[in-house]
Structure 1
Amino acid sequence: RIMMRILLECSLSDKLCVVREQQYEIIIIPTILVGVFLILLAVILWLFIREQRAQQQSPRLQGIAAVPPSRGLSLEAAGHGGSMFVPLKERSVESLLQTMTHALAKLQVPREQFCDSLEQIHSGSYGAIYRTKMYIGDPAKPKSVVLKALKEPAGLYEVQDFLGRIQFYQYLGKHKNLVQLEGCCTEGLPLYMVLEDVTQGDLLSFLWTCRRDVMTMDGLLYDLTEKQVYHIGRQVLQALEFLQDKHLFHGDVAARNILIQCDLTAKLCGLGLAYEVYARGAIPATYTVPLKWLAPERLLLRPAGIRGDVWSFGILLYEMVTLGAPPYPEVPPTSILQYLQRRKIMKKPSSCTHTMYNLMKSCWRWSEESRPSLKELHARLETAARTANDKAVLQVPELVVPELYAAVAGIGMESLSYSYSIL
């Protein structure tokens, strides 16, 4: 035992000297133990509170989840928000439009080139969406286009965001498997974004129509074979590879976000999340997507990346081969994370070949690193398509009830309407 003896004011002439023994270990060691206990208790409480907050922030009652931050953004993808995009220094809508006139000069379409009659086809989050004719070249052959309008009155922030989305599409450029930006009208109000018209509508509605006992409708053959599923899938992968080359990802790959043409050309839309990542380098907490299409890391609110799109692509293959069935039909949307945590995946549909199901399973691997890259997946689809059946038509006898589908899929009815929610 360690002791310290301290003589208190003793001299050689004193007959009695007081000696004090101080046993420091009796005081120090309990103090250290109490301190360590309090630190451990604080850490445990902090972890518990963080877990509770994470559960509260996930709006599971709605069947949708907030999108986590993006992973692996380069400076090219995340750094343009303050330089290339709409200037934030402007203090009025008028001055902002004047400033942007030069930047968007090549995209401006004179309003007199549009037909006077506008057919409203949807009411979007920013305003009404119209179909109309645009006269370019031969007046006898007007071009059908879609006008996405910004509702009025619009504040400075709404105008900035609307113009920023036009610039983002300008930055992306042309790709045959993305809906094309035809131009804009931003020199005055109302503001319009001019988009190409893909008249057949979204892939999900097309799949539902394929369930009906019809041969053709409006010149489009409503029969789908396994080989055509691969054909559509390859086009979606080409669009995703195009986004990846620009250090972006889609974030909501689903049949409802793909438009289809008469020749089965697929065009990916719904690029709102890609815009948020590009313009701001982050994703707003209010941005939500349906749970059943999300990869496990997204459900756990971890950083998002292109491998999450690979997972969703497997869900897309399931949608196509089942002609638009909701994923995980036996699992409530709010229970999907617990279902996946038990390492369960969807069973093979009766109309699905083993080759296609193996592709789906490779997309649904829990670990992101174990999933195939877009290039690897593309090569596997090419190989599978060579021996795919191009004669047998996929058939599902039951017709879809949209309200029931929305409840099982965990999405809102507004997402099922004919919509050009491209950005």
Structure 2
Amino acid sequence: MGEEKAMTQMLKECSLSDKLCILWHQQYEIIIIPAFLVGATLIILGVILWLFIREKRAQQQSPGLQGIAPEPPFRGQNGEAGGHEGSVFVPLKETSVESLLQTSTHALAKLQIPREQLSEVLEWIYNGSCGAIYRTKMHPGDPAKSKDIVLKVLKEPARLHEIQDFLGRIQFYQYLGKHQNLVQLEGCCTEREPLYMVLEDVAQGDLLSFLWTCRRDVMTMDGLLYDLTEKQVYHIGKQVLLALEFLQDKHLFHGDVAARNILIQCDLTAKLCGLGLAYEVHTQGAITSTRTVPLKWLAPERLLLRPAGIRGDIWSFGILLYEMVTLGAPPYPEVPPISILQHLQRGKIMKRPSSCTQTMYSLMKSCWRWKEDRRPSVRELCSRLETASRTADDKAVLQVPELVVPELYAAVAGIGVKSLSYSYSVL
């Protein structure tokens, strides 16, 4: 009642032409509410601008390449990000190369190989990420025990962090231990520069080159039979799965399963190589943005830059089956590498090759399910391959009449020609 009387008195004192006087009691609503709305709008615009700037900076730091994607963090089996708790690689704190080598040589004492046991005759293979890779011989005290080896040589001059990384890769092989379907570490020379990593030699080379040679009208070459059957495809595939299962048991994944990263022996023993991504996950808990993988082998979640995991290897394994049954054809030949994500988002997968049975194609399709949890596990897929192998054709030889032009293959597959470790003389 008091407020109404006061308002009545105020209105009596106002002249009829003084409209502001009538509205005076509402000044708080008129001033405060618009001010609040303006302030909230400015805050929202500021947040949007900050998010936009952060996204632009992220894109500038990891621009990516055509046909090749920067890698996301690693997601373990239970969805956690990060590497393995028992990481062998502990960053060494020495500030000089001399003290770093002295410390590492002591830590790797059991792996040291006298340099005089390594032949000075080197056959260059190709240049890797750390330096040149050669094929040579190792001569222990007994001449009968001489063996072919692959020598990874750290490029010179090497900076402190490059030496540390190279030593870490040696320690990683030591941590993994031996498996019949992984390339084995023979030893190292790290007491002084140049630093050497000594690996077993699989002289027949990579599976991709083997598949390409199978297209030629040859039966045998260098003791290796260049005829591949459906049953043998399952045989090679199962060995790759055993290597993946071994990595999975150590809370790792490969990240780049492809024919180019598998070495083959005369008896068709397959050995998975190219463990750079597994090393980075193990030591850093994530894959660095500088590490790149060709797009056409990547699972959708990795194309979308989501955390990587073992189920992404299953997707890539389906691509590997396609590579083998087509004797080394590039996946999605009609799709440009940069458009592969949109192609998959439309629900499209590769059609069944003419040389592929319905059983094998069903295995491929199970690997290419969009949702990760709907793809088979490594163990389940291995069991399915065993079952399919029992009834697979072991007589009919896979045949593809067209020979491969490496430059054309690289363009269609979205791979750098220099990354293909083949020999022109073989092709």
Give TM-score scaled by structure 1 length. Answer: 0.89
Which of 222, 226, 231 is matched with 2:230 structurally? 226
Match of 1:156 in 2: 160
The count of aligned residue pairs is 410
Distance 1:250 1:391 in 2: 33
Match of 2:283 in 1: 279
- The reply on whether 1:180 has 2:201 as its aligned counterpart is no
Given that 2:76 and 2:82 are in contact with CA atoms closer than 8 Å, whether structure 1 keeps it comes out as no
> What's the secondary structure of 2:186's corresponding residue?
strand
- The reply on whether 1:103 has 2:79 as its aligned counterpart is no
CA 76–25 in structure 1, closer or farther in 2 if over 3 Å, else same: closer
Q: Deviations over 1:373-413 (max 9, x none)?
A: 11111111111111111111111010000000000000001
Match of 1:332 in 2: 336
Match of 1:292 in 2: 296
Which of 79, 83, 86 is matched with 1:77 structurally? 83
Q: Aligned-pair distance for 1:113? A: 1.5
Match of 2:347 in 1: 343
Q: Deviations over 1:96-149 (max 9, x none)?
A: 111112210110111121223222222222222221211235313411111111
Distance 2:420 2:81 in 1: 36
Distance 1:371 1:57 in 2: 33
Q: 1:136-147 alignment to 2 at 5 Å?
A: 136=140, 138-147=142-151
> What's the secondary structure of 1:140's corresponding residue?
helix
Match of 1:122 in 2: 126
Q: 1:213-252 alignment to 2 at 5 Å?
A: 213-252=217-256
Match of 1:89 in 2: 93
Distance 1:174 1:404 in 2: 37
Match of 1:308 in 2: 312
Given that 1:4 and 1:23 are in contact with CA atoms closer than 8 Å, whether structure 2 keeps it comes out as no
Distance 2:185 2:303 in 1: 32
Distance 2:305 2:388 in 1: 34
CA 371–49 in structure 1, closer or farther in 2 if over 3 Å, else same: farther
CA 123–4 in structure 1, closer or farther in 2 if over 3 Å, else same: farther
Given that 1:77 and 1:246 are in contact with CA atoms closer than 8 Å, whether structure 2 keeps it comes out as no
CA 26–219 in structure 1, closer or farther in 2 if over 3 Å, else same: same
Which runs of 5 or more residues in structure 1 are unaligned?
A: none
Q: Aligned-pair distance for 1:21? A: 1.6
> What's the secondary structure of 2:150's corresponding residue?
strand
CA 293–50 in structure 1, closer or farther in 2 if over 3 Å, else same: farther
Give TM-score scaled by structure 2 length. Answer: 0.89
Match of 1:264 in 2: 268
Deviates more, 1:174-183 or 1:40-49: 40-49
CA 397–59 in structure 1, closer or farther in 2 if over 3 Å, else same: farther
Q: Aligned-pair distance for 1:417? A: 2.0
Which of 389, 410, 414 is matched with 1:406 structurally? 410
> What's the secondary structure of 2:83's corresponding residue?
helix
Q: Aligned-pair distance for 1:52? A: 6.2
CA 165–383 in structure 1, closer or farther in 2 if over 3 Å, else same: same
CA 287–119 in structure 1, closer or farther in 2 if over 3 Å, else same: same
- The reply on whether 1:201 has 2:198 as its aligned counterpart is no
> What's the secondary structure of 1:252's corresponding residue?
coil
> What's the secondary structure of 2:149's corresponding residue?
strand
CA 299–383 in structure 1, closer or farther in 2 if over 3 Å, else same: same
Q: Deviations over 1:294-331 (max 9, x none)?
A: 01111111111111101100000000000000000000
Q: Aligned-pair distance for 1:46? A: 6.0
Q: Aligned-pair distance for 1:47? A: 6.3
Given that 1:122 and 1:418 are in contact with CA atoms closer than 8 Å, whether structure 2 keeps it comes out as no
Distance 1:274 1:62 in 2: 23
Distance 1:217 1:153 in 2: 40
> What's the secondary structure of 1:390's corresponding residue?
coil
Distance 1:359 1:388 in 2: 13
Given that 2:296 and 2:340 are in contact with CA atoms closer than 8 Å, whether structure 1 keeps it comes out as yes
Distance 1:381 1:49 in 2: 49
CA 276–166 in structure 1, closer or farther in 2 if over 3 Å, else same: same
Q: Aligned-pair distance for 1:219? A: 1.4
Q: Deviations over 1:82-103 (max 9, x none)?
A: xx42543101111011111221
> What's the secondary structure of 1:62's corresponding residue?
coil
- The reply on whether 1:22 has 2:37 as its aligned counterpart is no
> What's the secondary structure of 1:385's corresponding residue?
helix
Amino acid at match of 1:351: S
CA 115–60 in structure 1, closer or farther in 2 if over 3 Å, else same: closer
CA 7–246 in structure 1, closer or farther in 2 if over 3 Å, else same: same
Given that 1:60 and 1:334 are in contact with CA atoms closer than 8 Å, whether structure 2 keeps it comes out as no
Deviates more, 1:377-386 or 1:35-44: 35-44
> What's the secondary structure of 1:223's corresponding residue?
coil
Q: Deviations over 1:182-238 (max 9, x none)?
A: 000111221110000000000000000000111111111100011100100000000
Amino acid at match of 1:139: P
CA 272–67 in structure 1, closer or farther in 2 if over 3 Å, else same: same
Given that 2:74 and 2:83 are in contact with CA atoms closer than 8 Å, whether structure 1 keeps it comes out as no
Deviates more, 1:398-407 or 1:277-286: 277-286
CA 339–33 in structure 1, closer or farther in 2 if over 3 Å, else same: same
Distance 1:368 1:383 in 2: 23
CA 42–221 in structure 1, closer or farther in 2 if over 3 Å, else same: same
Identity value in percent: 80
- The reply on whether 1:366 has 2:366 as its aligned counterpart is no
- The reply on whether 1:254 has 2:258 as its aligned counterpart is yes
